[in-house]
A and B are shown apart, each in its own frame.
Chain A
Amino acid sequence: MHNLKRLVVNEWLKLFKKRSFFVPYALLIGMSFIVGYVIHSFAAGMFGSVYDFTVTMSYIQGLGQVVTIMAIIGSSGIVAKEYSQGTIKFLLIRARSRTSILASKYITALIYGLSLTLATAVALFISGSIWFGFSGAEGRWVDVLGSLGYSYVYTVVYITLAFMIGILTTSGGATIGITMLMLMLDKTIIQKEFYKYMLFPNLDLSVYTDGGAPLPGMTLSFSIVMLAVYVLLFLLAGFVVFRRRDVA
């Protein structure tokens, strides 16, 4: 466990020491304030309170998807860059298993995604409290956490997908390209029975909050199981390939 922790520290430093590390945080925080200001100026009645604002803007339809995009870009290189920089050679000739090295990378990507989600949430909350106030704000924390949870699930699935593609292609550019393409297509719903077993309609768990469903017969627990299956498949493919691949 201690060893895995040290590996995660390593991976985090590889992200953190880059000069561009703070750019996505700055962008997301900046957007949180701009969105708050714009809505306050042009549609002041849209949100009743800071909680309302934070909940809605954290959804995938709000800034949630931007967080996901930033997380994909940030973590796309976590495996691929090691190959393209050639640093994979020094990385794999240590007394650490390939499994634990890859696990530390995945954990780091998840932490990175979480840190973006939380930074955005905090920024949205501050922005919202400036422009929409705290009136009628009893007991809405649960909604904020729920909203963050939904968008983090969405981010985690995409991070896992990007992680697998990064391992398979060993190219950061290809990883961003393919994952972004899927991100753009995932709102399309095909009205066919088989489609509910695909990844896309299951991604947004927030649709179940008001009793709806993307396709007939779909429920919250069905989607959670589907997402878990897909995430495990992506991880399995990634770990198997990474463990077996010759570094030539």
Chain B
Amino acid sequence: MSQRDVQQAQHEREDIVLQMNEVSKVIKGKAIVDKLSFQIRKGEIVGLLGPNGAGKTTTIRMMTGLIRMSEGDIEVQGHSIKKNFKSAIAHIGAIIENPEFYPYMTGLDNLRQYERMTDDVDDDRIDEVVQLVGLQEAMNKKVRSYSLGMRQRLGIAQALLQRPKLLILDEPTNGLDPAGIREMRDYMRTIAEVEGISILISSHMLSEVEQICHRAVVIQNGKLVTVTELGAENSVSEEVTLTFRVDAIEPAIAIAHGTEGIQVVRTDFIRDQLTVTMNNKNVPELVGALGAAGVGLYRIEENRQSLEEDFLKWTGGNRIA
């Protein structure tokens, strides 16, 4: 290996924040998580997707050392969770399921608890994270009086306190109302930018993951199903599915059938809609042909295959695992 190759390999390794190596959890002979491997790179927002009972929470609990691995290992910034837990966990901030605090203490007292459990965190850092999640006003109120949204924010503050390289959020929008969900999403974006850290979000809310994640890791029955880049497929795939709304549907269908490289997927006579799949570069040609034939065009919409459809395809539809 040349020196450049070595440097390259070294660089790639440094870029990996979390590495799962064939991690398994076996309880009473049943594999809850089965030889799961994937990685999270620096600055990435990754979604961990799977139907209920797929092993998402078990996976996250193994990452944070709450549950022991039966086999395999997890490395955080190169430190093994198994062999060097304290160094590994120091780079992780997490909220696992609901954020639970000591209800009879104030928000500040709760954060101080975690400050005393962490090296190199002072009161200035507490102010910093409190500001980031916008809880300044509530710091001296007892956590008992907090709404779920506020507790989520305090949970994020708690997770960010130790300046982690990886933030793990387990079902972060569970139980939040739409405004809360949106707020949460904004926070996650801000955090990824301001703090420059990687985020792992486990969820069964596909639209959530689709909106903010760069990559999705899909698991089912504890096994890896697929790892997919999100928001990239449009630029890559040449094939598009379009729905046209026209003023006269019959001539439109005739034109579509008559043009090469176009497949008619669906026709809707009531709404005067026509859905076709075609190569991206032929779209102007079809639009031109429709115009030339005097077919009035009200609307063209792209039918993107949503993550939901992919997800159902990967996980075998509505089969309850």
Contact = CB atoms under 8 A, between A and B. Distances in A.
B158 interface: yes
Contacts of B66: 89, 92-93, 246-248
A9 B90 contact: no
A6 B87 contact: no
Interface residues of A, number: 25
Contact of A248 (B67, B94, B109): B67
Contacts of B105: 13-14, 17
Interface string A83-119: 0011101111111110000000000000000000000
B222 to A, nearest CB: 15
A86 B100 contact: yes
Contacts of A6: 116-117
Q: Is the interface of B mostly helix, strand, loop or mixed?
A: loop
> Which of B65, B89, B96, B102 has the most CB atoms of chain A within a 10 A radius of its CB?
B102
Contact of A92 (B65, B102, B118, B162): B65
Given A85-B102, A87-B100, A87-B102, A95 B67 contact: no
Contact of B104 (A18, A89, A94, A97): A18
A7 interface: yes
Given A18-B104, A93-B94, A95-B89, A246 B68 contact: yes
B85 A97 contact: yes
Given A89-B97, A94-B118, A13 B67 contact: no
A243 to B, nearest CB: 10
Contacts of A248: 61, 66-67
Given A10-B116, A10-B117, A13-B109, A95 B100 contact: no
Contacts of A91: 117
Contacts of A90: 99-101, 114, 158
> Which of B66, B90, B98, B109 has the most CB atoms of chain A within a 10 A radius of its CB?
B66
A17 B109 contact: yes
Given A10-B113, A246-B66, A247-B67, A95 B102 contact: no
Contacts of A92: 64-66
> Which of B101, B103, B113 has the most CB atoms of chain A within a 10 A radius of its CB?
B113
Nearest to B68: A246
Interface string A74-90: 00000000000111011
Interface of A: 6-7, 9-10, 13-14, 17-19, 85-87, 89-97, 244, 246-248
Given A17-B109, A85-B100, A95-B118, 7 more contacts: A14-B113, A17-B104, A90-B101, A93-B65, A95-B86, A95-B89, A247-B66
8 contacts: A14-B102, A14-B105, A17-B109, A90-B114, A93-B65, A93-B89, A94-B89, A244-B68
